[in-house]
Amino acid sequence: MTTDSDEIDPGRIARLHADELSRFRSQRPRSIELIERARAHMPNGVPMSWMVTDNDQAIYVAHGIGASIVDVDGHSYLDFNTSDVAMFCGHAVPEIVDAVRRQVGRSTQFLLPTEDSIAVAEELADRYPVGFWQFTLSATQANTEAIRLARAVTGRDVVVLFQGHYHGHFEEGLVDLTGGGPQPVARGLSKAVTGRTRIVPFNDLERLRAALATDDVAIVLTEPAMTNQVHFVEPSPEWHPTLRELTRHHGTLLALDETHTHVVGRGGATGLWQLEPDIVTIGKSIAGGIPLGAYGVTASLAEELHSSRNIATGGTLFGNPLSAAAARATLTQVLTPAAYLHAATLGNELADGIQRAIDAHGLPWTAIRFGPRSGQWYGPAPSTSTEALALAVTNFDLTRLIRIWLANRGIWEALPGAGPNVPIPATGEDIQHYLSAYGELLDALTT
Ligand SMILES: Cc1ncc(COP(=O)(O)O)c(C=O)c1O
Protein backbone atom coordinates (compact mmCIF):
# COMPACT_ATOMS: atom_id res chain seq x y z
CA MET A 1 0.00 0.00 0.00
CA THR A 2 1.35 3.46 -0.80
CA THR A 3 1.12 6.15 1.82
CA ASP A 4 -0.24 9.37 0.51
CA SER A 5 1.43 11.34 3.28
CA ASP A 6 4.56 10.83 1.16
CA GLU A 7 3.12 13.81 -0.75
CA ILE A 8 4.05 15.99 2.22
CA ASP A 9 7.69 16.93 1.89
CA PRO A 10 9.66 14.97 4.56
CA GLY A 11 11.99 17.97 4.82
CA ARG A 12 9.08 20.14 5.89
CA ILE A 13 8.02 17.58 8.50
CA ALA A 14 11.58 17.48 9.86
CA ARG A 15 11.90 21.29 9.96
CA LEU A 16 8.56 21.74 11.74
CA HIS A 17 9.46 18.99 14.18
CA ALA A 18 12.85 20.54 15.01
CA ASP A 19 11.28 23.99 15.59
CA GLU A 20 8.50 22.60 17.79
CA LEU A 21 10.86 20.43 19.83
CA SER A 22 13.24 23.28 20.47
CA ARG A 23 10.33 25.51 21.59
CA PHE A 24 8.97 22.70 23.80
CA ARG A 25 12.32 22.17 25.51
CA SER A 26 13.10 25.83 26.01
CA GLN A 27 9.80 26.35 27.83
CA ARG A 28 10.26 23.42 30.24
CA PRO A 29 13.43 24.12 32.23
CA ARG A 30 12.17 22.52 35.47
CA SER A 31 11.30 19.21 33.77
CA ILE A 32 14.69 19.12 32.12
CA GLU A 33 16.41 19.90 35.41
CA LEU A 34 14.53 17.04 37.14
CA ILE A 35 15.38 14.59 34.38
CA GLU A 36 19.05 15.52 34.68
CA ARG A 37 18.92 15.03 38.46
CA ALA A 38 17.08 11.72 38.07
CA ARG A 39 19.66 10.33 35.64
CA ALA A 40 21.97 9.70 38.59
CA HIS A 41 19.65 6.96 39.87
CA MET A 42 17.13 6.12 37.12
CA PRO A 43 18.12 5.08 33.58
CA ASN A 44 17.05 7.88 31.17
CA GLY A 45 16.00 9.94 34.22
CA VAL A 46 12.54 8.36 34.46
CA PRO A 47 10.96 5.46 36.42
CA MET A 48 10.47 3.32 33.26
CA SER A 49 13.21 4.00 30.74
CA TRP A 50 10.84 3.85 27.75
CA MET A 51 8.95 6.91 28.97
CA VAL A 52 11.71 8.71 27.09
CA THR A 53 11.75 6.43 24.05
CA ASP A 54 8.07 6.99 23.40
CA ASN A 55 8.21 10.75 23.92
CA ASP A 56 10.54 13.22 22.22
CA GLN A 57 10.95 14.80 25.61
CA ALA A 58 9.62 13.46 28.88
CA ILE A 59 8.04 15.95 31.26
CA TYR A 60 7.67 15.67 34.99
CA VAL A 61 4.05 16.07 36.10
CA ALA A 62 2.82 18.10 39.07
CA HIS A 63 -0.82 16.99 39.15
CA GLY A 64 -3.91 16.08 37.13
CA ILE A 65 -7.51 17.22 37.46
CA GLY A 66 -10.50 16.25 35.30
CA ALA A 67 -9.43 16.01 31.66
CA SER A 68 -6.08 17.76 32.18
CA ILE A 69 -2.58 17.25 33.52
CA VAL A 70 -0.21 20.01 34.63
CA ASP A 71 3.58 19.74 34.38
CA VAL A 72 6.16 21.05 36.85
CA ASP A 73 6.74 24.12 34.65
CA GLY A 74 3.06 25.04 34.98
CA HIS A 75 1.93 23.99 31.47
CA SER A 76 -1.53 22.46 31.34
CA TYR A 77 -2.39 19.76 28.79
CA LEU A 78 -5.68 18.29 27.78
CA ASP A 79 -4.96 14.59 28.37
CA PHE A 80 -5.95 12.72 25.21
CA ASN A 81 -3.37 10.02 25.89
CA THR A 82 -5.28 9.17 29.09
CA SER A 83 -2.17 7.17 30.11
CA ASP A 84 -2.90 4.83 27.21
CA VAL A 85 -6.55 4.54 28.30
CA ALA A 86 -5.77 3.91 32.00
CA MET A 87 -7.14 7.38 32.87
CA PHE A 88 -10.24 7.28 30.66
CA CYS A 89 -12.25 8.33 33.75
CA GLY A 90 -10.11 11.46 34.15
CA HIS A 91 -7.86 12.67 36.95
CA ALA A 92 -8.69 13.09 40.64
CA VAL A 93 -12.30 12.05 40.01
CA PRO A 94 -14.18 12.87 43.27
CA GLU A 95 -16.04 9.52 43.56
CA ILE A 96 -12.80 7.55 43.14
CA VAL A 97 -10.77 9.84 45.41
CA ASP A 98 -13.39 9.43 48.17
CA ALA A 99 -13.50 5.64 47.85
CA VAL A 100 -9.70 5.35 47.91
CA ARG A 101 -9.36 7.73 50.84
CA ARG A 102 -11.92 5.73 52.85
CA GLN A 103 -10.23 2.42 52.13
CA VAL A 104 -6.69 3.62 52.85
CA GLY A 105 -7.89 4.61 56.32
CA ARG A 106 -9.13 1.06 56.87
CA SER A 107 -5.91 -0.51 55.52
CA THR A 108 -5.10 -1.83 52.09
CA GLN A 109 -4.44 -5.55 52.20
CA PHE A 110 -5.38 -8.50 54.39
CA LEU A 111 -4.97 -11.42 51.97
CA LEU A 112 -8.65 -11.83 52.69
CA PRO A 113 -11.54 -10.38 50.69
CA THR A 114 -13.64 -7.31 51.40
CA GLU A 115 -17.24 -6.91 50.23
CA ASP A 116 -16.23 -4.46 47.49
CA SER A 117 -14.68 -7.33 45.51
CA ILE A 118 -18.11 -9.01 45.27
CA ALA A 119 -19.68 -5.80 43.96
CA VAL A 120 -16.93 -5.53 41.32
CA ALA A 121 -17.32 -9.16 40.20
CA GLU A 122 -21.12 -8.73 40.05
CA GLU A 123 -20.79 -5.58 37.98
CA LEU A 124 -18.31 -7.16 35.54
CA ALA A 125 -20.47 -10.29 35.25
CA ASP A 126 -23.39 -8.04 34.36
CA ARG A 127 -21.37 -6.34 31.62
CA TYR A 128 -19.71 -9.36 29.99
CA PRO A 129 -21.00 -12.80 29.02
CA VAL A 130 -18.70 -14.59 31.48
CA GLY A 131 -19.92 -15.00 35.02
CA PHE A 132 -16.85 -15.72 37.19
CA TRP A 133 -14.07 -13.21 37.89
CA GLN A 134 -10.57 -13.19 39.33
CA PHE A 135 -8.33 -10.21 40.01
CA THR A 136 -4.72 -9.25 39.47
CA LEU A 137 -2.93 -5.91 39.54
CA SER A 138 -2.70 -5.33 35.79
CA ALA A 139 -4.08 -6.40 32.44
CA THR A 140 -0.72 -8.03 31.69
CA GLN A 141 -1.19 -10.32 34.67
CA ALA A 142 -4.82 -11.01 33.75
CA ASN A 143 -3.66 -12.14 30.31
CA THR A 144 -0.84 -14.19 31.84
CA GLU A 145 -3.34 -16.04 34.03
CA ALA A 146 -5.78 -16.53 31.15
CA ILE A 147 -2.99 -18.26 29.23
CA ARG A 148 -2.03 -20.40 32.24
CA LEU A 149 -5.66 -21.44 32.65
CA ALA A 150 -5.95 -22.31 28.97
CA ARG A 151 -2.76 -24.39 29.05
CA ALA A 152 -3.95 -26.23 32.15
CA VAL A 153 -7.35 -26.99 30.60
CA THR A 154 -6.25 -27.95 27.11
CA GLY A 155 -2.89 -29.53 27.88
CA ARG A 156 -1.50 -27.54 24.94
CA ASP A 157 1.27 -24.95 24.79
CA VAL A 158 0.76 -22.69 21.78
CA VAL A 159 -0.70 -19.19 22.02
CA VAL A 160 -2.11 -17.43 18.92
CA LEU A 161 -1.96 -13.62 18.81
CA PHE A 162 -2.56 -11.15 15.99
CA GLN A 163 0.04 -9.07 14.23
CA GLY A 164 0.55 -5.62 15.78
CA HIS A 165 -1.05 -6.79 19.06
CA TYR A 166 -0.19 -5.61 22.51
CA HIS A 167 -1.53 -7.40 25.57
CA GLY A 168 1.22 -6.62 28.07
CA HIS A 169 4.83 -7.58 28.63
CA PHE A 170 4.51 -11.30 29.39
CA GLU A 171 6.83 -13.47 27.24
CA GLU A 172 4.47 -14.50 24.42
CA GLY A 173 3.03 -10.98 24.34
CA LEU A 174 6.35 -9.62 23.11
CA VAL A 175 6.54 -11.80 20.02
CA ASP A 176 5.32 -10.42 16.70
CA LEU A 177 5.43 -11.27 13.03
CA THR A 178 8.50 -9.78 11.42
CA GLY A 179 10.37 -10.99 8.37
CA GLY A 180 7.84 -13.74 7.72
CA GLY A 181 7.99 -15.44 11.13
CA PRO A 182 7.46 -14.87 14.86
CA GLN A 183 10.27 -12.83 16.43
CA PRO A 184 10.79 -11.24 19.84
CA VAL A 185 10.13 -7.49 19.60
CA ALA A 186 12.44 -6.76 22.52
CA ARG A 187 15.56 -8.19 24.14
CA GLY A 188 15.48 -10.29 27.28
CA LEU A 189 12.99 -13.00 26.31
CA SER A 190 13.58 -16.75 26.42
CA LYS A 191 14.68 -18.02 23.01
CA ALA A 192 12.08 -20.77 23.31
CA VAL A 193 9.19 -18.30 23.30
CA THR A 194 8.88 -18.09 19.51
CA GLY A 195 8.26 -21.85 19.37
CA ARG A 196 5.11 -21.53 21.45
CA THR A 197 3.75 -18.29 19.96
CA ARG A 198 1.98 -18.13 16.61
CA ILE A 199 1.21 -14.75 15.05
CA VAL A 200 -1.48 -14.23 12.43
CA PRO A 201 -2.46 -11.02 10.59
CA PHE A 202 -5.76 -9.72 12.04
CA ASN A 203 -8.66 -10.21 9.56
CA ASP A 204 -6.73 -12.85 7.58
CA LEU A 205 -9.04 -15.88 7.75
CA GLU A 206 -6.88 -18.15 5.67
CA ARG A 207 -3.85 -17.67 7.93
CA LEU A 208 -6.07 -18.09 10.99
CA ARG A 209 -7.37 -21.42 9.69
CA ALA A 210 -3.82 -22.63 9.07
CA ALA A 211 -2.66 -21.50 12.54
CA LEU A 212 -5.39 -23.50 14.29
CA ALA A 213 -5.42 -26.55 12.02
CA THR A 214 -2.69 -28.43 13.89
CA ASP A 215 -4.83 -28.72 17.04
CA ASP A 216 -2.00 -27.63 19.33
CA VAL A 217 -3.27 -24.15 20.21
CA ALA A 218 -4.33 -23.59 23.84
CA ILE A 219 -5.73 -20.11 23.39
CA VAL A 220 -6.37 -17.31 20.92
CA LEU A 221 -5.94 -13.97 22.68
CA THR A 222 -7.15 -10.91 20.81
CA GLU A 223 -8.66 -7.49 21.20
CA PRO A 224 -12.13 -7.36 19.63
CA ALA A 225 -10.75 -4.58 17.40
CA MET A 226 -7.02 -3.95 17.19
CA THR A 227 -6.02 -0.75 19.02
CA ASN A 228 -2.31 -1.16 19.61
CA GLN A 229 0.74 -0.48 17.42
CA VAL A 230 -1.54 -0.46 14.38
CA HIS A 231 -3.60 2.62 15.42
CA PHE A 232 -6.89 0.84 14.83
CA VAL A 233 -8.18 -2.05 12.72
CA GLU A 234 -11.83 -2.98 12.79
CA PRO A 235 -12.85 -6.63 12.38
CA SER A 236 -14.28 -7.54 8.99
CA PRO A 237 -17.94 -8.71 9.20
CA GLU A 238 -16.97 -12.40 8.94
CA TRP A 239 -13.95 -12.21 11.29
CA HIS A 240 -15.50 -12.78 14.72
CA PRO A 241 -18.09 -15.40 13.73
CA THR A 242 -15.39 -17.42 11.97
CA LEU A 243 -12.89 -16.99 14.79
CA ARG A 244 -15.45 -18.31 17.26
CA GLU A 245 -16.43 -21.22 15.06
CA LEU A 246 -12.83 -22.23 14.37
CA THR A 247 -11.69 -22.00 17.99
CA ARG A 248 -14.64 -24.14 19.09
CA HIS A 249 -13.99 -26.66 16.33
CA HIS A 250 -10.32 -27.05 17.26
CA GLY A 251 -10.82 -27.13 21.06
CA THR A 252 -9.00 -23.82 21.52
CA LEU A 253 -10.11 -21.24 24.10
CA LEU A 254 -10.97 -17.74 22.93
CA ALA A 255 -10.00 -14.79 25.15
CA LEU A 256 -11.06 -11.23 24.32
CA ASP A 257 -8.93 -8.47 25.81
CA GLU A 258 -11.20 -5.49 26.53
CA THR A 259 -8.54 -3.41 28.26
CA HIS A 260 -8.80 -0.67 25.62
CA THR A 261 -12.01 -1.47 23.78
CA HIS A 262 -14.24 -1.37 26.86
CA VAL A 263 -14.36 2.40 26.35
CA VAL A 264 -17.04 1.98 23.66
CA GLY A 265 -19.78 1.12 26.14
CA ARG A 266 -20.89 -0.71 29.25
CA GLY A 267 -20.24 -4.19 27.78
CA GLY A 268 -17.26 -3.08 25.68
CA ALA A 269 -16.87 -4.29 22.11
CA THR A 270 -17.91 -7.77 23.28
CA GLY A 271 -21.37 -6.39 24.02
CA LEU A 272 -21.42 -4.10 20.99
CA TRP A 273 -20.82 -7.01 18.60
CA GLN A 274 -22.44 -9.71 20.78
CA LEU A 275 -19.31 -11.84 20.91
CA GLU A 276 -19.09 -15.13 22.78
CA PRO A 277 -15.65 -15.46 24.38
CA ASP A 278 -14.58 -18.13 26.88
CA ILE A 279 -12.53 -15.54 28.75
CA VAL A 280 -12.62 -11.74 28.97
CA THR A 281 -9.56 -9.88 30.24
CA ILE A 282 -9.51 -6.25 31.28
CA GLY A 283 -7.51 -3.70 33.27
CA LYS A 284 -6.29 -0.11 33.23
CA SER A 285 -9.29 2.21 33.69
CA ILE A 286 -11.62 -0.22 35.51
CA ALA A 287 -10.31 1.07 38.85
CA GLY A 288 -9.91 4.65 37.67
CA GLY A 289 -6.11 4.43 37.56
CA ILE A 290 -5.56 2.44 40.77
CA PRO A 291 -3.81 -0.82 39.71
CA LEU A 292 -6.27 -3.62 38.95
CA GLY A 293 -6.54 -6.30 36.29
CA ALA A 294 -9.36 -8.83 35.99
CA TYR A 295 -10.36 -11.84 33.97
CA GLY A 296 -13.77 -13.37 33.68
CA VAL A 297 -14.41 -16.98 32.68
CA THR A 298 -17.31 -19.28 31.93
CA ALA A 299 -18.78 -21.53 34.61
CA SER A 300 -16.91 -24.60 33.38
CA LEU A 301 -13.57 -22.79 33.38
CA ALA A 302 -14.33 -21.44 36.83
CA GLU A 303 -14.43 -25.05 38.05
CA GLU A 304 -10.78 -25.33 37.05
CA LEU A 305 -9.88 -22.43 39.31
CA HIS A 306 -10.91 -24.16 42.52
CA SER A 307 -7.88 -24.22 44.74
CA SER A 308 -7.52 -27.99 44.64
CA ARG A 309 -6.76 -27.82 40.90
CA ASN A 310 -3.53 -25.87 41.52
CA ILE A 311 -3.28 -23.60 38.48
CA ALA A 312 -0.34 -21.16 38.56
CA THR A 313 -2.15 -17.94 39.46
CA GLY A 314 -2.13 -15.25 42.12
CA GLY A 315 0.10 -12.61 43.76
CA THR A 316 0.32 -11.13 47.23
CA LEU A 317 -1.25 -7.78 46.33
CA PHE A 318 -3.65 -9.04 43.64
CA GLY A 319 -7.30 -8.20 44.19
CA ASN A 320 -6.48 -6.04 47.22
CA PRO A 321 -9.16 -4.02 49.04
CA LEU A 322 -7.83 -0.67 47.78
CA SER A 323 -8.16 -1.74 44.14
CA ALA A 324 -11.57 -3.25 44.87
CA ALA A 325 -12.85 -0.04 46.51
CA ALA A 326 -11.58 2.06 43.61
CA ALA A 327 -13.09 -0.33 41.05
CA ARG A 328 -16.45 -0.42 42.79
CA ALA A 329 -16.68 3.38 42.73
CA THR A 330 -15.37 3.54 39.15
CA LEU A 331 -17.68 0.90 37.70
CA THR A 332 -20.84 1.87 39.55
CA GLN A 333 -20.50 5.67 39.75
CA VAL A 334 -18.15 6.80 36.97
CA LEU A 335 -18.25 4.33 34.06
CA THR A 336 -22.01 4.74 33.71
CA PRO A 337 -24.00 4.40 30.46
CA ALA A 338 -24.31 8.22 30.39
CA ALA A 339 -20.55 8.64 30.73
CA TYR A 340 -19.82 6.19 27.90
CA LEU A 341 -22.38 8.01 25.73
CA HIS A 342 -20.88 11.43 26.53
CA ALA A 343 -17.34 10.26 25.65
CA ALA A 344 -18.54 8.57 22.45
CA THR A 345 -20.48 11.67 21.38
CA LEU A 346 -17.38 13.81 21.82
CA GLY A 347 -15.29 11.11 20.09
CA ASN A 348 -17.60 11.33 17.10
CA GLU A 349 -17.30 15.13 17.08
CA LEU A 350 -13.54 14.73 17.16
CA ALA A 351 -13.59 12.25 14.27
CA ASP A 352 -15.96 14.48 12.26
CA GLY A 353 -13.70 17.48 12.83
CA ILE A 354 -10.53 15.58 11.95
CA GLN A 355 -12.14 14.36 8.71
CA ARG A 356 -13.32 17.89 7.86
CA ALA A 357 -9.82 19.28 8.39
CA ILE A 358 -8.30 16.50 6.28
CA ASP A 359 -10.76 17.17 3.44
CA ALA A 360 -10.32 20.94 3.65
CA HIS A 361 -6.58 20.49 3.17
CA GLY A 362 -6.99 18.09 0.27
CA LEU A 363 -5.20 15.25 2.06
CA PRO A 364 -6.16 11.66 1.20
CA TRP A 365 -6.22 10.63 4.88
CA THR A 366 -9.05 8.98 6.84
CA ALA A 367 -10.30 9.80 10.34
CA ILE A 368 -10.46 6.88 12.77
CA ARG A 369 -13.75 6.50 14.61
CA PHE A 370 -14.36 4.12 17.52
CA GLY A 371 -16.44 5.49 20.40
CA PRO A 372 -14.30 8.04 22.23
CA ARG A 373 -11.23 7.16 20.19
CA SER A 374 -10.15 8.88 16.99
CA GLY A 375 -6.99 9.86 15.09
CA GLN A 376 -6.17 9.44 11.44
CA TRP A 377 -4.85 7.06 8.88
CA TYR A 378 -2.40 8.69 6.47
CA GLY A 379 -4.31 7.03 3.63
CA PRO A 380 -7.44 4.89 3.27
CA ALA A 381 -8.36 2.73 6.28
CA PRO A 382 -6.37 -0.54 6.11
CA SER A 383 -8.28 -3.82 6.15
CA THR A 384 -5.72 -6.08 7.85
CA SER A 385 -3.19 -5.52 10.59
CA THR A 386 -0.38 -6.18 8.11
CA GLU A 387 -1.47 -3.20 6.01
CA ALA A 388 -2.01 -1.15 9.15
CA LEU A 389 1.48 -1.86 10.49
CA ALA A 390 3.04 -0.83 7.20
CA LEU A 391 1.21 2.50 7.34
CA ALA A 392 1.96 3.15 11.02
CA VAL A 393 5.68 2.49 10.64
CA THR A 394 6.07 4.53 7.45
CA ASN A 395 4.54 7.59 9.03
CA PHE A 396 6.35 7.65 12.32
CA ASP A 397 7.93 11.08 11.67
CA LEU A 398 4.54 12.62 11.00
CA THR A 399 3.12 11.03 14.15
CA ARG A 400 6.01 12.46 16.19
CA LEU A 401 5.38 15.91 14.72
CA ILE A 402 1.66 15.77 15.57
CA ARG A 403 2.48 14.89 19.19
CA ILE A 404 4.98 17.68 19.80
CA TRP A 405 2.87 20.21 17.85
CA LEU A 406 -0.14 19.44 20.01
CA ALA A 407 1.91 19.44 23.23
CA ASN A 408 3.05 22.99 22.47
CA ARG A 409 -0.62 23.91 22.17
CA GLY A 410 -1.75 22.34 25.43
CA ILE A 411 -2.75 18.83 24.31
CA TRP A 412 -1.07 15.60 25.40
CA GLU A 413 -1.67 13.33 22.42
CA ALA A 414 -1.87 9.52 22.45
CA LEU A 415 1.31 7.44 22.23
CA PRO A 416 2.62 6.65 18.73
CA GLY A 417 0.56 3.79 17.31
CA ALA A 418 -2.56 4.78 19.25
CA GLY A 419 -5.13 7.53 18.68
CA PRO A 420 -6.45 10.33 20.87
CA ASN A 421 -8.96 8.99 23.38
CA VAL A 422 -11.50 11.48 24.76
CA PRO A 423 -11.57 11.21 28.57
CA ILE A 424 -14.95 11.23 30.29
CA PRO A 425 -14.55 14.69 31.91
CA ALA A 426 -13.75 16.34 28.54
CA THR A 427 -16.11 18.98 27.12
CA GLY A 428 -17.14 20.18 23.67
CA GLU A 429 -14.71 23.11 24.12
CA ASP A 430 -11.87 20.64 24.62
CA ILE A 431 -12.73 19.01 21.30
CA GLN A 432 -12.74 22.43 19.59
CA HIS A 433 -9.36 23.17 21.16
CA TYR A 434 -7.95 19.92 19.72
CA LEU A 435 -9.44 20.57 16.29
CA SER A 436 -8.16 24.11 16.12
CA ALA A 437 -4.57 22.99 16.94
CA TYR A 438 -4.91 20.09 14.47
CA GLY A 439 -6.19 22.41 11.72
CA GLU A 440 -3.24 24.78 12.27
CA LEU A 441 -0.86 21.85 11.85
CA LEU A 442 -2.46 20.82 8.56
CA ASP A 443 -2.13 24.48 7.42
CA ALA A 444 1.57 24.38 8.28
CA LEU A 445 2.03 21.06 6.48
CA THR A 446 0.22 22.00 3.29
CA THR A 447 0.69 25.74 2.65
C1 LIG B 1 -5.18 -4.40 24.96
C2 LIG B 1 -4.18 -4.37 26.08
N3 LIG B 1 -4.12 -5.38 26.93
C4 LIG B 1 -3.25 -5.38 27.95
C5 LIG B 1 -2.36 -4.35 28.14
C6 LIG B 1 -1.40 -4.37 29.29
O7 LIG B 1 -1.78 -3.46 30.25
P8 LIG B 1 -0.85 -3.20 31.51
O9 LIG B 1 0.43 -2.64 30.97
O10 LIG B 1 -1.61 -2.21 32.32
O11 LIG B 1 -0.64 -4.49 32.18
C12 LIG B 1 -2.38 -3.28 27.27
C13 LIG B 1 -1.45 -2.15 27.43
O14 LIG B 1 -1.32 -1.26 26.60
C15 LIG B 1 -3.32 -3.28 26.20
O16 LIG B 1 -3.38 -2.28 25.33
DSSP string for residues in 216-261: -EEEEEE-SSB-SSSS-BPPPTTHHHHHHHHHHHTT-EEEEE-TTG
pTM (predicted TM-score): 0.97
Look at residues 334, 360, 393 and tell me which one is the last residue of a structural domain.
334
Look at residues 279, 299, 334 and tell me which one is the last residue of a structural domain.
334
Does pLDDT of 3 surpass 70? no
Strand order in the sheet with 279-282: 132-136, 293-297, 279-282, 253-257, 217-222, 158-162, 197-200
Predicted local confidence at residue 303, as pLDDT: 94
Q: Is 273 in the pocket of ligand 1 (CB under 6 A)?
A: no
Tell me the β-bridge partners of 376: 367
CA of 389 from ligand 1 middle (Å) equals 18
Q: Is 283 in the pocket of ligand 1 (CB under 6 A)?
A: yes
CA of 7 from ligand 1 middle (Å) equals 34
- pLDDT tens column, 149-174: 999 999 999 999 999 999 999 999 99
| Mean pLDDT across the chain | 95
Predicted local confidence at residue 6, as pLDDT: 53
Do 258 and 363 share a domain, yes or no? no
Q: Is residue 224 part of a domain?
A: yes
Do 295 and 195 share a domain, yes or no? yes
**CA gap 129, 335 in Å, rounded:** 18
Q: Is residue 87 part of a domain?
A: no
Query: Atom of ligand 1 at shortest distance to CA of 258?
Result: 1
- pLDDT tens column, 47-94: 998 888 777 888 999 999 999 999 999 999 999 999 999 999 999 999
CA of 356 from ligand 1 middle (Å) equals 32
- pLDDT tens column, 171-203: 999 999 988 899 999 999 999 999 999 999 999
CA of 11 from ligand 1 middle (Å) equals 35
**CA gap 357, 443 in Å, rounded:** 9
Q: Is 139 in the pocket of ligand 1 (CB under 6 A)?
A: yes
Determine how β-strand 293-297 pairs with β-strand 366-367.
unpaired
Do 230 and 243 share a domain, yes or no? yes
Domain housing 274: 94-334
Do 416 and 434 share a domain, yes or no? yes
CATH at residue 61? 3.90.1150.10
Look at residues 300, 334, 368 and tell me which one is the last residue of a structural domain.
334
N- to C-terminal Cα separation, the chain: 26
Q: Is residue 86 part of a domain?
A: no
- Number of independent structural domains in the chain: 2
